[in-house]
Structure 1
Amino acid sequence: MKLFSALILALTALLLTHCEAPAPGENTTDAISVLEATRSKMLTTPTHHYRFTSAWDNRYSRSTWADSMDITYSWLPGSDLGFAFFAEGTGSSVLYDGKDELKIDHNKRKVIRTTAAEIGNNPDYFAHAMSFHGDPKSLPEPAAVDLVSDTIINGRKLYSYSQTTKSPAAGGPNTTYVYLLDPEQKVVDRIRKISHLGGDTSQVIDYFFTDYSFSEDLHEFGDADRHRSMAYREVSKAADKEERRSGLIKPGAQLHRADYTDINSKRQMLYGKSSKKTVIMFGFIGCSNCELAFREMKKKEFATRDDVELVYSSPVNDAAALKPYLEKKAFPFTSFGENSRMNDNFKVAGFPTFVLIDQKGTVEKVIGGYDSEVERMLF
């Protein structure tokens, strides 16, 4: 988190101290030609490779997140969708050879195969893939650009193109995309996605692109790309779903462990220490529905019923991240991070999930999401 914050501060300082406004009345003809040339390069060169880094700043949930991966992409005539790619990250990778997709989990040493038929049943299958969240091939056509300008960042001249899309839903977020292009290399240097809700900025995502290489040859996607995972066990998408759902905590389950270490390194008992029942809220930083739950509970000043005790548990975030996050939420109860290993005994299908436990460790209710039933249980 410190590294991420330092990155954001450094980038902000860089933009503030090294950016110059375009000269008044400057002709945008050259900028348009750069946009057209860059679009053509990305959409017609048979194979390209680049390093992709994304930095997320969710203003609504006051959370940040960063990720990076190496992308190799080919326009593949023999592919079912016309392309193939390999996205290699630290803990996971994705290989699509034009037919099947392999999701490779390096932590679990597992490969999940989604067949061409399964992909074909969903025309938007890759639309929300992380590797395409910020896609340098998705540059707008010149006619769709709202604003063109030039700037200098760290001594490099870049052209900036802005495009705003309005949400079709009433009251929904509007999104502004800012594309920064390198006129010398004819590549995308950065894409910034800014989400607006009402008059507020709700989220800013920066996508940075480096280490480009282009080739007129088609990349042969296959075992050579996934040499790290050749010995991993392989399962189907359906089998993986069944594995993930097996072991989910259910009403009637009897817990056999009550003690866990909280974010303050103190041993806490989930049940059996008093006549109260316990409600565990499972969530994580950046979960939008968890934020809604926190907002509704905060409206009630977290004044829970006398016969229940509320605790929070994140299977994703460690104590160092949770402490400042929960302090900002004014959450007054005991909390547990991933370090507690509580998730080993409480597997939930989604977030937030609220689990009600009686004084003897029997699970009475498991409720996904925050609704009126959860409110009646807590307040």
Structure 2
Amino acid sequence: MKTRYSQIALLALLSCAKPQSPEEIFAEAKKKMKEAERVQLRMDMVWENPEMGEFETIGYSADFRKNPEAFFGYDFHGKRVGAGSESAYVQGVEYQINHRDSTVRTEDVLDSSMVQHSMLRTFNPLVLLEKEPWSYLGDTSIQEKQLLEYSWVEMDTVIDGREVYLENHLWINPANLLPAFYSRRLFHDGKRNQFIECSYDGWKLEDSAEPFVVDFPKGYLTKVAGNTESPLLKVGIQAPDFELEDGHGNPVRLSDYRGKKVLLDFSIINCGWCKIALEQFAKPDYEFADDIVPLYINPSDSKERMEKYQLKIKIPFPVLADAEQVGKDYGVNGFPTFYLIDETGKIEEVTQGYSDETILQWKKKSE
């Protein structure tokens, strides 16, 4: 239920306190967060997958401690509720702890994009409050709490003829100057695409904090990234052969395509840029060059999920799911990742991420 900000001002006047403007309240909330040496909270997220008609719920208990030398000013530790896993970023090193197989994966990531895009970092208020510019929208009553709503437009652009609009909403409780809710809203051509909602509670702010001490359970096997996991393969080397089944149960081997170039599109379902790339490939006027055979390889999702996904998203070439080992063999650590294999089976090109230019270079040239 929407109310008027004047009501807040009236209540403040009646209590003989000078009313603060919404902008002043936001500044005070930001100041309060920045002055704390340690911030602990619970983050509960609802992650929408619009293509599958599904919602994933994710809960984290998070602990952030100031460290001026850290990637964004904080070391942090997060425990995912019910998932048997933890993650930490301490003194420039990332740790991924898996209690199910008793392993700890470490990587020196002083400026890692993985840390930059970590959910613990991206969706926590310490980062969100620093974004500019937030604008006051109005006040709202949620669960008997009066909250002030602010918005920030992160993206308003056109990508390959599609209008992409991404806005963020943050609700702050003026009673304690702490964020309560967050909403990340993505629209394509004015239509809802994906919403991600996050609620915050269990706040604990402290003016002092001991540095994190990395202490993992005894008997856990430590895996050092780069030593036990292959990086992306280099141009010029022989591409690892593989055999997978397509959606019809037919075997597909990379070595069967000698004499032609093969484009390996490593993608997963819950990846917006992967979907955009598929939409480009599926356009009526898009045709691969005569000497290129495209293959879609999914190292993460099952065949059953891919079948459901393909009912909504057209993939105009063979789909190979349950390909976890192939993803590891090719060192795939982000999506989409494209490998172009030449006629002799050697790697000709490696590309990570989406761009219009990359997609067009594999298109058949107009005569």
Correspondence for 1:157 among 141, 145, 160: 145
Task: Report which stretch shifted further, 244-253 or 200-209.
Answer: 244-253
Find the counterpart in structure 2 of residue 270 from structure 1: 253
Q: Given the superposition, is the C-alpha separation of residues 64 and 279 from structure 1 closer, same or farther in structure 2, using an over 3 Å criterion?
A: farther
Find the counterpart in structure 2 of residue 352 from structure 1: 337
Correspondence for 2:39 among 32, 43, 48: 48
One-letter code aligned to 1:218: A
TM-score (norm. length: structure 1): 0.67
How much identity, in percent, do the aligned residues show? 14
Quote how far apart the aligned CAs of 1:163 are: 2.6
One-letter code aligned to 1:191: Y
Quote how far apart the aligned CAs of 1:25 are: 5.2
Establish whether residue 244 from structure 1 lines up as the match of residue 208 from structure 2. Answer: no
For 1:75 and 1:59, the matched residues in 2 are separated by 37
Quote how far apart the aligned CAs of 1:285 are: 2.1
For 2:338 and 2:68, the matched residues in 1 are separated by 45
The residue correspondences of 1:280-359 to structure 2 (distance < 5 A) are 280-300=264-284, 310-331=294-315, 333-338=317-322, 341-343=325-327, 345-348=329-332, 351-356=336-341
C-alpha contact (below 8 Å) 1:150/1:158 kept by paired residues: yes
Q: Given the superposition, is the C-alpha separation of residues 316 and 51 from structure 1 closer, same or farther in structure 2, using an over 3 Å criterion?
A: same
SS in 1 for 2:126: coil
| Number of residue-to-residue matches in the alignment | 339
Greater strand content? 2
For 1:170 and 1:302, the matched residues in 2 are separated by 20
One-letter code aligned to 1:295: E
For 1:222 and 1:245, the matched residues in 2 are separated by 29
For 1:344 and 1:167, the matched residues in 2 are separated by 33
Quote how far apart the aligned CAs of 1:63 are: 8.4
SS in 1 for 2:315: coil
SS in 2 for 1:240: coil
Find the counterpart in structure 2 of residue 221 from structure 1: 212
For 1:215 and 1:349, the matched residues in 2 are separated by 36
Query: How far does the alpha carbon of each residue in 1:151-171 deviate from its partner, in whole angstroms, 9 at most, with x for none?
Result: 233x33241322334659787
Find the counterpart in structure 2 of residue 212 from structure 1: 203
Greater helix content? 1
C-alpha contact (below 8 Å) 2:184/2:196 kept by paired residues: yes
For 1:253 and 1:193, the matched residues in 2 are separated by 39
Find the counterpart in structure 2 of residue 109 from structure 1: 103
Quote how far apart the aligned CAs of 1:133 are: 0.8
Query: How far does the alpha carbon of each residue in 1:251-273 deviate from its partner, in whole angstroms, 9 at most, with x for none?
Result: 54463x53x34456x35233688
One-letter code aligned to 1:325: Y
Quote how far apart the aligned CAs of 1:317 are: 1.7
Quote how far apart the aligned CAs of 1:23 are: 4.4
Find the counterpart in structure 2 of residue 39 from structure 1: 30
Q: Note the aligned Cα RMSD (angstroms).
A: 4.6
The residue correspondences of 1:126-141 to structure 2 (distance < 5 A) are 127-138=116-127, 140=129
For 1:343 and 1:23, the matched residues in 2 are separated by 54
C-alpha contact (below 8 Å) 1:276/1:308 kept by paired residues: no
SS in 1 for 2:363: helix
Find the counterpart in structure 1 of residue 173 from structure 2: 182
TM-score (norm. length: structure 2): 0.69
Which blocks of at least 5 consecutive residues in structure 2 are unaligned?
A: 10-18, 352-357
